Amino acid sequence: MGFSGWGRYPTSESRLIAPVSAAEVEANLGSSEPWDTPVIARGAGRSYGDSALSETLISTRYLDNFSSFTTSASGHTVLRCASGMSLEKVLETIIPKGLFLPVLPGTKAVTIGGAIAADVHGKNHHIDGSFCDHVASVRVMLATGEVIDCHRESNAELFHATCGGMGLTGIILDAAIKLMPLSSLDIAQRSLAAGNLQDCMDLMEEHDDAKYSVAWIDCLATGAAQGRSVLYLGEHVDEQDAREKSKPGRKGLRAIQRSELNIPFDAPSILLNKYTMAGFNSAYYALQKRRATTKRIAYDSFFFPLERLRNWNRLYGAKGFLQYQLALPQESAHAGISAILSCASQAGKGSFLSVLKKFGKANSNLLSFPIEGYTLALDFKYEASLFPLLDKLDTLVLDHGGRLYLAKDARMSKECFQQSYGQWERFAELRQKFDPKGKFSSLQSRRLGLS
């Protein structure tokens, strides 16, 4: 059966196994079939490249039960649930209780296991860190079938290797996650137009105390307008009676889903070119500049704007696309991002969705992506002429002390990875310790020299 990530490049012929319980996973691990081939866990398939592709895939879709709600010593409500549970189903359950996930990526289709394996981040990393900063513990099944409950105080090595470890330490069975109180389902969103990249970064620094912050960038604008942007700031609306007003439960959330539009077929790739993208970007910037204002919007629209377009990856054509997401340290971020935008623009490669966010401090997880500074994400449709450009961008990222996001990567070289992830050797040592026979392996891990 053929599989791919969300970017639809690359593809892989794989065998899919879908255990219905942790006991079934353990029983299969002890047998020789089908575990005699490389194996990796697969959640919702929303990583973009080949991190969840291998000869054998273990689907976690049936590991989707809730275990408990408890209160921690610090007063946090802690949810324990299985790794195959999607963020969408988690939100459906906790929102009526007046609770919310403290970190959300750009899609709610991601599973809990996937969010931990990629240590996903959101629009509030500069304040709240990444997803795993709110994970209290994780239960991991090793290649031997042994299940280990790990957290920062016990089995800490496995915890910090599993969080952000792209599934290479074992199968995440379930996790305990700290939740935050929800004041309202609505977000007070403020939009600010920035004339260029420096203006945008200045605005981000000026509004560093905003809970949520993300900027759309016109990646094809040049000269004095390079990096012109629309910065979106967000705060939860403060309401005393929020629990009653934000109590749509499953019925309300499904009503939101019914308003989605579906992309029923692959768009002709020829429609995506530098002229159509330049026209779209110019029009979008002009429109948003005129509309710069503060308004109240539903949380779903703020956190997951692309979810309104189901199968939006089809817009890039049948061959798919590659998302190139980089992080650069604070001191070199402006120069590096400016050079990257110039390089992409000169090559005639543009992106409708170019997103800039600010990162806070890095955490202790060995392969987690965020470093203190800025992150830029660019989408490029697949075409052979794209790869030489991405190689040039890799050089610029390394020259400015940055790195690429493993959850979005589909073609990074081993050399680029090893130069940019300073703790990769320690991760490799721990992976060897917990999986000495190398059962857990993906196309990405082999390409990067991790398995």
Q: Predicted confidence band at 74 (pLDDT cuts at 50, 70, 90)?
A: confident
Cβ atoms < 10 Å from Cβ of 298: 14
Asked whether residue 251 carries a pLDDT value surpassing 50, the answer given is no
> For residue 281, what is the DSSP state?
H
Question: How distant, in Å, are the alpha carbons of 132, 362, 363, 451 from that of 376?
Answer: 21, 16, 19, 28
For residue 303, give the nearest of 213, 406, 407 by alpha carbon: 213
pLDDT confidence of 260, banded at 50, 70, 90? low
Q: What is the percentage of the chain residues whose pLDDT exceeds 70?
A: 93
User: Comparing 62-66, 147-151, 165-169, 268-272, which segment has the lowest mean pLDDT?
Assistant: 268-272
- For residue range 342-351, what is the model confidence (pLDDT) as tens digits? 999 999 887 7
Q: How far is residue 185's CA from residue 238's CA, in Å, rounded to a whole number?
A: 10
Residue 274, pLDDT score: 77
Check residue 172 and give its pLDDT. Answer: 97
Is it true that the peptide bond before 10 is cis, omega within 30 degrees of 0? yes
pLDDT digits (tens, 9 = 90+) for 210-247: 999 999 999 999 999 999 999 999 999 986 544 444 44
In degrees rounded to 5, what are phi and psi of residue 114? -65, -40
Cα R_g (the chain), whole angstroms: 21
Contacting residues for 346 by C-beta, under 8 A, at least 6 apart:
none
> Is 134 a residue whose pLDDT tops 50?
yes
pLDDT over 90 (residue 448)? yes
Handedness of CA 80, 86, 88, 92 (dihedral sign): negative
Least confident of 27-41, 144-158, 175-189, 225-239: 27-41
Residue 30's pLDDT band (cuts 50, 70, 90): low
Mapped to the 3 state alphabet, what secondary structure does 284-340 carry? HHHHHHHHCCEEEEEHHHHHCHHHHEECHHHHHCCCCEEEEEEEEEHHHHHHHHHHH
Q: Please report the pLDDT score of residue 35 as a whole number.
A: 54
How large is the average pLDDT for residues 293-300?
A: 91
Q: Residues, the chain, total? A: 451
- How high is the pLDDT of residue 250? 44
pLDDT range class, residue 37, cuts 50, 70, 90? confident
The C-alpha atoms of residue 157 and residue 165 are separated, in whole angstroms, by 12
Average pLDDT of the residues in 273-280: 80
Give which of 219, 368, 234, 244 is closest to 304, Cα–Cα. Answer: 234
At residue 310, does pLDDT exceed 60?
yes
Whether 254 has a pLDDT exceeding 70, the answer reads no
Dihedral pair phi/psi, residue 182, rounded to 5°: -105, 120
Q: What is the pLDDT of residues 183-205, one digit of tens each?
A: 999 999 999 999 999 999 999 99
Residues paired with 138 in a beta bridge: 150, 175
Average pLDDT over residues 71-99: 93
Tokens 């891990």 correspond to what residue? Answer: 445
Phi, psi of 344 (to 5 degrees): -65, -40
Give whole-number Cα distances, 431 to 156, 329, 331, 424, 442, in Å. 14, 28, 33, 10, 13
Q: How many Cβ atoms sit within 10 Å of the Cβ of residue 345?
A: 18
Q: DSSP assignment of 70-85, as one string?
A: EE-TTS-EEEEEETT-
pLDDT band for position 257 (cuts 50, 70, 90): very low
Residues of the chain with pLDDT > 90, as a percent, come to: 77
- Please say whether the dihedral angle defined by the alpha carbons of residues 365, 366, 372 and 374, taken in this order, is positive or negative: negative
The first and second tokens of residue 313, run together, are: 């990856």
Mean pLDDT in the chain?
A: 91
pTM of the predicted model, to two decimals?
Answer: 0.94
User: Looking at this protein, which amino acid is placed at residue 184?
Assistant: S
